[in-house]
Amino acid sequence: MTYYIKADKFFYPYHTLSGGYLEIKEGKFGKHRQEVPKDAEVKDYTGYWIAPGLVDTHIHGFDGADVMDGQSELLDKMSQGLLRGAVTSWIATPLTGEHGRLREVCEAVGNYKPRVTGAKIQGLFFEGPYFTAQHKGAQNPAYMTDPNVQEFENWNQAAHGMIRKIAVAPEREGSIEFIRALTKRGITVALGHSNATLAQATAAVEAGATVFVHTFNGMSPFNHREPGMVGAALSLPNTYAELICDGHHVHPTAAKILIQSKGAAHTVLITDAMRAAGMPDGDYMLGEFPVRVEGGAVHLKEGDSLAGSVLMLKDAIKNVVDWGIATPEEAIMMASLTAAKSVNIDDRCGQIKEEYSADFIVLGPDMQLSEVYVDGERAI
């Protein structure tokens, strides 16, 4: 089946096309053309923009479900729910946990046979357990250990090779050797939940680490005499910096500084959402910790520190535009192509490109989400 999308703008990876028609053929993107055959089926989105489906590379939960639940029906629930946030591809993210439990989660994701109508799980991101207790955030330090390649191999085997990314604190013993070993295997290594100095973070990047986890949060802050992990994120070239733009985790001015420093090609908008995302305010659990959701923010009940988010990625791209710190093109790039590139899945998602699955979103000029398509079929 072939049809054509008519719209005001089409957001391609490195340029925006105005007007015309985008061909959708057998669930894949086709060519962009100025005219279509006389008898062609046309979906008319005049007044709207067409962008690639968003890619969330750091997300724990949604709609009351969590990756750590380790249940395929709940993964399905998340995949369906994430469409409401304009997400068509995501990286399932477990928390630091008991190491045997993490293997069970790997098996659940590795064996998951998704419904094709929801957002697509493109891999796993292990946020931990190789962190420092000093910047534990809402993760349990009881399970934090030094990096171990054999342990990682066991997890990845259970996940049928689906682990795309793992985060470590570079000051942990053996981290440099671990980073080198995993980078050789094609795994993306990220740095986070760490008290590392600039020198330690730089050594980790030189060993192959390429991503900074939710920049500014859970890392040694910038100081003019010791720039720390934040200084490394801002200054080291050819690295990606994750950013939570919900207005609670990072001040808009700090977000602006990061985007100005890294550019849209190296800033990755993420949600770090937990199970209460898409749900009403109230009391929830994040891993083993009770949390309270109120006014768009999640706080630990004990200690009151931020504990993940309830952000939807569609709101993150709207926020950075509304804050005046990114253009619509930059916002979309940071939540699609750049996100996909940061974990090496840009060969299958994150861009409008011929022969790619037709996963795309329909936006109004005010950045409000209107519709979502997966494999060329309207899903929302």
Q: Which residues are catalytic?
A: 272
Please give the backbone phi and psi of residue 267, each rounded to the nearest 5 degrees, phi first: -110, 130
Positive or negative torsion for Cα 163, 185, 194, 234: negative
Place of tokens 């940071």: 334
With contact defined as beta carbons under 8 Å apart, do 371 and 380 qualify? yes
Cα separation, 8 vs 345, whole angstroms: 28
Please give the backbone phi and psi of residue 333, each rounded to the nearest 5 degrees, phi first: -60, -45
With contact defined as beta carbons under 8 Å apart, do 296 and 289 qualify? no
Half-sphere exposure of 361 (CA within 13 A, CB side): 30
Place of tokens 């706080």: 299
Closest to 286 measured CA to CA, from 126, 68, 112, 130: 68
Cα separation, 91 vs 273, whole angstroms: 12
Q: Which two tokens stand for residue 271?
A: 């949600």
Q: Which two tokens stand for residue 304?
A: 């009151």
User: The sheet that has 289-294: what strands, in order across it?
Assistant: 282-286, 289-294, 297-300
With contact defined as beta carbons under 8 Å apart, do 37 and 30 qualify? no
Angle between helices 149-158 and 175-184 in degrees, nearest 10:
40
* Helix (H) or strand (E) segment spanning residue 74: helix 72-82
